[in-house]
């Protein structure tokens, strides 16, 4: 019986236009459709595979505003068993450290956790550090950038793939794993799954319920501040190079001038 | 204001109905949309694979209870049809025939053994069904059908020809309606029974991403338990058609929306006489007509869906919906086609494909004239289907 917690984040749909709010430079949640992050669909899929290969229970954990229930429902529709939703006004604008603290406290609410599965990097914040922070806070081994995962008895084996190559890792459970795009192809939720999801238990908790001090979270307590933000300027037309026999040289000169070669 | 949902109709869907919408959209975007123009052009369909995919998703017989079916609301079923038909009417037909015609018939009229034998595999997409009512000489007037089932000892023997049968060439089981001494009865016919043959209908210019067949029944011998035990007369097949028509009145909203969206995107980017086509008043008049028709059809479908979930939907209201929404979708498709100019006649864009498909949708499951006659009878009390 493997007891798995999957960390699921709701993010603005990459198909829609993503903006920061003018007032405090946090995400403008009204401007874009919110969806479960695709990397977290893969995280859920991996947890379900482990559960289906043997025995287990999959708990979804999400820190996010009220409408994150949509992301939670999708994970439950795919087949997760239950969910914890941490929702609290005071979390608005929390940085990665605060998010990790809240996640760690919420994981502590689940009894006998064997495995925590996260995405390697969220598609909005793109910090790529929450799993490592969690490992530190919980004192658990971390297996990051994972593209292949197996659980055997009391241990977990993983192929960690980065630009440097593939590393074979093994750790004792409990452990924290973060997965990359290559880990699997997530299933579509089935209609039966969708119908069943609404009957699955979702526990909604506040920061106080978790025993986290609200003075440690939120925009005002972040360790860094966004001073200014402006959209990327639109692409310019580019430079046209006429080839009078010296086209190659001109291209090379251009690349040198751009410090690309 | 969302130009895709001008009246905000989907805001009144339940969370579950929205999840089902999103699941079908996501599936369609990845698995159907990229291939549909090719299927249409080559008049082929990977029916087995499609059935498996639809089965995993849970769309086959989704509104039925038990036997591996999801048991959703009627509105959820309608929304799934809408999103599938936004891709192609042929794909919605695939689901309609399996779920609303073949499975519904077995679920409603079949014996417990027939249900247990067929429904779980049909829901999973492992077995395909078809529904044989129409004949070469009996279309709008099914009472004149010639296919006969006669008793031979305890067996039944079927002879006759069915025409225009969707999925007939790939079906594992055919629900066949035939004349008997006690009136029309329905039979569950495994397609590997000797004497059963299915021939593909070729050279279709509409619903090309759908397989259509002629069924030939030549001394097809069936055991006594192959017949639907209770139902007699046209009530049997008509109850199934009523289900499928409900899928159509929702589905056509999707086809109309797809045409409108394609046209809107096109006129915003295409420039003539120095401005986008969208800037001309004549274009805006057309867009206004399109958005009105698409949303009016959408509202009507949702209203009828809610009535169906309450259990108060009358079959003449289904006729209303089928008549009104197919007509609206055809008008939208034709106007949208004109907005795309020459590109409008190309398979590179979805509009003419939808337009051609909708000619089938106008005809099958009761022609638009038959539904007009039903409405006429409903408001006057005078049936006008027959001369004299
Ligand atoms: C618009 C915007 C503005 C921001 N401004 C600031 C700022 O001013 N200062 C600052 O320090 N940070 C800021 N952040 C970062 C924000 O705090 C992080 O998005 C958040 O803390 C998680 O980090 P990440 O998304 O980069 O996580 P990653 O480390 O990239 O996420 C990896 C995985 O961790 C898990 N995970 C992450 N977050 C959650 C969650 N909420 N619930 C459940 N699982 C989760 C998921 O499994 C995810 O796949 C901002 C983010 C955005 C989108
Ligand atoms: C692609 C496709 C798939 C199909 N799939 C199936 C299937 O799976 N199963 C199945 O059983 N059938 C199927 N059909 C058949 C369809 O249901 C029939 O074509 C339809 O019922 C009309 O019958 P018909 O073609 O014989 O036309 P007819 O009944 O001959 O009608 C021709 C015209 O005469 C009009 N007309 C007829 N009677 C009257 C009247 N009393 N007053 C005024 N006008 C009248 C009709 O409205 C129509 O305009 C399919 C058809 C198509 C094209």
Q: Output the domain CATH number for residue A132.
A: 3.40.50.620
* pLDDT category of residue B373 using cuts at 50, 70 and 90: very high
Q: Please work out whether the CB of residue A65 comes within 6 Å of at least one atom of ligand 1.
A: no
Mean per-residue pLDDT over chain B, rounded: 97
Examine residue A261 and state whether it is found in any structural domain, yes or no.
no
Tell whether the model's pLDDT for residue B388 goes beyond 80: no
- Residue A184: what pLDDT? 97
Cα A149 to ligand 1 centre (Å) = 24
Q: Tell me if B20 and A191 make a contact (CB, 8 A cut-off).
A: yes
CB contacts, 8 Å: A77 with chain B = 19, 23
Question: Which atom, in ligand 1's list, is nearest to the CA of A27?
Answer: 1
Please check whether residue A28 is in contact with residue A19, taking contact to mean a CB–CB distance below 8 angstroms: yes
- The protein residue whose alpha carbon is closest to atom 13 in ligand 1 is A95
Examine residue A189 and state whether it is found in any structural domain, yes or no.
yes
CB contacts, 8 Å: B76 with chain A = 191
Please check whether residue B87 is in contact with residue B31, taking contact to mean a CB–CB distance below 8 angstroms: no
Q: How many Cα atoms occupy the beta-carbon half-sphere of A24 within 13 Å?
A: 12
Q: What is the pLDDT of residues B312-325, one digit of tens each?
A: 999 999 999 999 99
Q: What is the mean pLDDT of residues A121-128?
A: 92
Examine residue A250 and state whether it is found in any structural domain, yes or no.
no
Q: Which residue has the tokens 């209201």?
A: B317
Pick the more confident residue, B192 or A124.
B192
Examine residue A235 and state whether it is found in any structural domain, yes or no.
no
Q: How far is B150 from chain A (nearest CA, A)?
A: 41
Residues of A with CB under 8 A from a CB of B: 70, 73-74, 77, 187-195, 197-198
* pLDDT category of residue A235 using cuts at 50, 70 and 90: confident
Q: Is B271 a catalytic residue?
A: no
Q: Which of B223, B121, B234 is nearest to B186 (CA)?
A: B234
Burial annotation B231-254 (CB, 10 A radius, 16+ → b, else e)? beebebbeebbbbbbbbbbbbbbb
Please state, for a pLDDT cut of 90, what percent of chain A lies above it: 74
Q: What is the pLDDT of residues B87-119, one digit of tens each?
A: 999 999 999 999 999 999 999 999 999 999 999
Please check whether residue B62 is in contact with residue B16, taking contact to mean a CB–CB distance below 8 angstroms: no
Q: What is the mean pLDDT of residues B217-231?
A: 97
Torsion angle in degrees (nearest 10) through CA of B9, B15, B16, B17 = 0
- Residue A239: what pLDDT? 79
Domain limits at A109? Answer: 2-221
Cα B130 to ligand 2 centre (Å) = 17
- The protein residue whose alpha carbon is closest to atom 53 in ligand 2 is B360
Cα A200 to ligand 1 centre (Å) = 26
Cα B319 to ligand 2 centre (Å) = 15
List B83, B214, B293, B365, catalytic entry: B365
Please check whether residue A31 is in contact with residue A17, taking contact to mean a CB–CB distance below 8 angstroms: yes
Q: Tell me if B15 and A70 make a contact (CB, 8 A cut-off).
A: yes
Q: Which of helix, strand or coil describes residue B217?
A: strand
User: What are the structure tokens assigned to A216, written together?
Assistant: 């440690």
Q: Which of helix, strand or coil describes residue B185?
A: strand
Torsion angle in degrees (nearest 10) through CA of B144, B150, B155, B156 = -20
CB contacts, 8 Å: A74 with chain B = 19
Q: What is the DSSP letter of B218?
A: E
Q: What is the pTM of this model?
A: 0.89
Q: What does the alpha-carbon distance between residue A100 and residue B328 come to, in Å, rounded to a whole number? A: 53
Q: What is the pLDDT of residues B289-312, one digit of tens each?
A: 999 999 999 999 999 999 999 999
Ligand 2: residues with CB < 6 A are B 97, 131-134, 139-140, 164-166, 207, 212, 360, 363-365, 367, 369-370, 385
Q: How far is B82 from chain A (nearest CA, A)?
A: 16
Q: What is the mean pLDDT of residues B362-382?
A: 97
State the total domains in chain A. Answer: 1
ipTM: 0.86
- Residue A109: what pLDDT? 94
Q: What is the mean pLDDT of residues B369-383?
A: 97
Q: How far is B277 from chain A (nearest CA, A)?
A: 25
Question: Which atom, in ligand 2's list, is nearest to the CA of B384?
Answer: 41
CB contacts, 8 Å: B71 with chain A = 195
- Residue B370: what pLDDT? 97
The 3-state secondary structure of chain A reads CEEEEEECCEEECCCCCCCECCCCCCECCCCCCEEECHHHHHHHHHHHHHHHHCCEEEEEEEECCHHHHHHHHHHHHHCCCEEEEECCHHHCCCCHHHHHHHHHHHHCCCCCCCEEEEECCCCCCCCCCHHHHHHHHHCCCEEEEEEEEEEECCEEEEEEEECCEEEEEEEECCEEEEECHHHCCCCCCCHHHHHHHCCCCEEEECCCCCCCCHHHCCHHHCCCCCCCCCCCCCCCCCCCCCCCCCHHHHHHHHHHHCCCC
Tell whether the model's pLDDT for residue B199 goes beyond 80: yes
Strands (DSSP E) contained in B181-270 are 183-190, 196-200, 212-222
- Residue A237: what pLDDT? 78
Q: Tell me if B15 and A188 make a contact (CB, 8 A cut-off).
A: no
> Is B65 touching A (CB cutoff 8 A)?
no
Least distant ligand from the CA of B387: 2
Examine residue A233 and state whether it is found in any structural domain, yes or no.
no
A34 forms bridges with which residues in the sheet? A12
Examine residue A92 and state whether it is found in any structural domain, yes or no.
yes
- Residue A23: what pLDDT? 81
């Amino acid at each position: 019986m493997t007891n798995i917690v999957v960390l699921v984040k709701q993010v603005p749909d990459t198909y829609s236009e993503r903006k920061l709010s003018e007032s405090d430079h946090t995400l403008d949640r009204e401007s874009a459709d919110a969806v479960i992050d695709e990397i977290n669909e893969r995280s859920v899929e991996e947890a379900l595979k482990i559960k289906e290969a043997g025995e287990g229970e999959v708990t979804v954990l999400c820190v996010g505003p009220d409408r994150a229930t949509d992301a939670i429902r999708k994970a439950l529709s795919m087949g997760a068993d239950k969910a914890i939703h941490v929702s609290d006004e005071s979390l608005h604008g929390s940085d990665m450290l605060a998010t990790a603290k809240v996640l760690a406290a919420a994981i502590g609410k689940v009894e006998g956790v064997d495995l925590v599965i996260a995405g390697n990097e969220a598609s909005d914040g793109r910090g790529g550090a929450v799993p490592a922070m969690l490992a530190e806070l919980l004192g658990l081994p971390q297996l990051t950038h994972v593209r292949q995962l197996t659980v055997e008895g009391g241990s977990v084996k993983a192929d960690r793939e980065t630009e440097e190559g593939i590393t074979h890792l093994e750790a004792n459970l409990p452990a924290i794993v973060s997965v990359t795009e290559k880990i699997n192809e997530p299933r579509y939720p089935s209609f039966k799954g969708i119908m069943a999801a609404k009957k699955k238990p979702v526990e909604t908790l506040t920061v106080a319920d978790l025993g986290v001090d609200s003075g440690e979270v939120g925009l005002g307590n972040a360790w860094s501040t966004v001073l200014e933000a402006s959209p990327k300027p639109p692409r310019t037309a580019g430079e046209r190079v006429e080839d009078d026999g010296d086209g190659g040289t001109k291209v090379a000169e251009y690349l040198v001038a751009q410090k690309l070669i | 204001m969302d130009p895709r949902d001008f009246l905000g109709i989907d805001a009144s869907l339940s969370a579950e109905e929205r999840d089902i919408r999103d699941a079908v959209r996501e599936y369609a975007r990845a698995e159907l949309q990229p291939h549909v123009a090719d299927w249409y052009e080559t008049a082929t369909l990977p029916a087995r694979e499609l059935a498996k995919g639809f089965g995993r998703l849970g769309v086959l017989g989704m509104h039925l209870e038990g036997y591996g079916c999801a048991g959703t609301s009627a509105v959820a079923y309608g929304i799934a049809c809408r999103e599938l038909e936004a891709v192609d009417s042929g794909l919605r037909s695939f689901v309609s025939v399996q779920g609303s015609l073949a499975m519904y018939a077995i679920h409603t009229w079949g014996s417990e053994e027939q249900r247990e034998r067929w429904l779980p595999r049909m829901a999973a997409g492992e077995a395909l069904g078809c529904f044989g009512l129409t004949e070469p000489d009996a279309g709008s007037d099914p009472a004149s059908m010639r296919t006969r089932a006669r008793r031979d000892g305890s067996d039944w023997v079927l002879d006759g020809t069915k025409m225009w049968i969707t999925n007939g060439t790939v079906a594992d089981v055919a629900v066949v309606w035939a004349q008997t001494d006690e009136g029309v009865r329905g039979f569950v016919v495994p397609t590997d029974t000797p004497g059963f043959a299915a021939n593909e209908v070729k050279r279709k210019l509409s619903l090309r991403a759908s397989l259509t067949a002629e069924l030939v029944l030549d001394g097809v011998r069936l055991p006594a338990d192959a017949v639907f035990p209770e139902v007699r007369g046209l009530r049997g097949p008509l109850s199934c058609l009523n289900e499928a028509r409900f899928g159509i009145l929702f589905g056509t909203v999707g086809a109309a929306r797809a045409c409108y969206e394609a046209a809107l995107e096109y006129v915003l980017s295409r420039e003539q006489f120095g401005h986008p086509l969208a800037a001309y008043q004549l274009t805006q008049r057309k867009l206004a007509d399109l958005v009105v028709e698409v949303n009016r059809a959408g509202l009507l479908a949702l209203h009828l869906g809610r009535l169906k979930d309450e259990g108060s939907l009358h079959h003449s209201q289904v006729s209303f919906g089928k008549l009104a929404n197919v007509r609206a979708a055809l008008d939208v498709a034709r106007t949208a086609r004109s907005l795309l100019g020459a590109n409008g006649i190309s398979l590179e864009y979805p509009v003419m494909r939808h337009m051609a498909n909708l000619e089938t949708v106008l005809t099958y499951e009761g022609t638009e004239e038959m539904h007009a006659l039903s409405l006429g009878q409903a408001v006057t009390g005078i049936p006008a289907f027959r001369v004299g």
